[in-house]
């Protein structure tokens, strides 16, 4: 047994294992999977947070840009009428276009 093995065995015995080999097996079976699980859980949390931010950005964008022509709007945004079935805000031009279109149908 070389000096390195002796030291490793002594360290393992201090932790309550028979020798380093037993400690190493325990490490592979118990510690590694537990670390993997923790990392996976962390990754899932990060992905969920990213998705939350993405949805928030989309919502914010909906308010700043006309949902039809994508033009950036100023202070005045137009709410589409409920029977137009459009989600989000419209610029003036698109609002009047929609109004004309919908009035033609009626």
User: What residue ranges bind Zn ion (CB under 5 A)?
Assistant: 66, 68-69, 71, 91, 94
What gap in Å lies between CA 66 and CA 92, rounded to an integer? 9
Shortest reach from residue 64's CB to Zn ion, in Å: 12
Would you say 20 or 95 has its CB closer to Zn ion?
95
Shortest reach from residue 98's CB to Zn ion, in Å: 9
Would you say 12 or 94 has its CB closer to Zn ion?
94
Vertex 105 angle, CA 99 and 106, to 5°: 90
Would you say 68 or 86 has its CB closer to Zn ion?
68
Shortest reach from residue 66's CB to Zn ion, in Å: 3
Of 40, 36, 16, 39, give the one whose Cα is nearest residue 28: 36
What gap in Å lies between CA 6 and CA 2, rounded to an integer? 6
Q: Which token pair is 93?
A: 């031009």
Shortest reach from residue 65's CB to Zn ion, in Å: 8
The owner of tokens 């308010």 is 63
């Amino acid at each position: 047994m070389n000096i390195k093995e002796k030291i490793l065995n002594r360290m393992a015995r201090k932790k309550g294992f028979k020798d380093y080999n037993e400690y190493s097996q325990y490490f592979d079976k118990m510690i590694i999977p537990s670390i993997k699980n923790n990392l996976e859980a962390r990754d899932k949390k990060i992905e969920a947070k990213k998705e939350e931010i993405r949805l928030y950005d989309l919502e914010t964008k909906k308010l700043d840009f006309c949902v039809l022509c994508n033009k950036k709007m100023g202070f005045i945004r137009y709410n589409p009428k409920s029977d137009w079935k459009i989600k989000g805000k419209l610029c003036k031009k698109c609002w009047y276009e929609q109004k004309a279109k919908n009035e033609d149908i009626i």
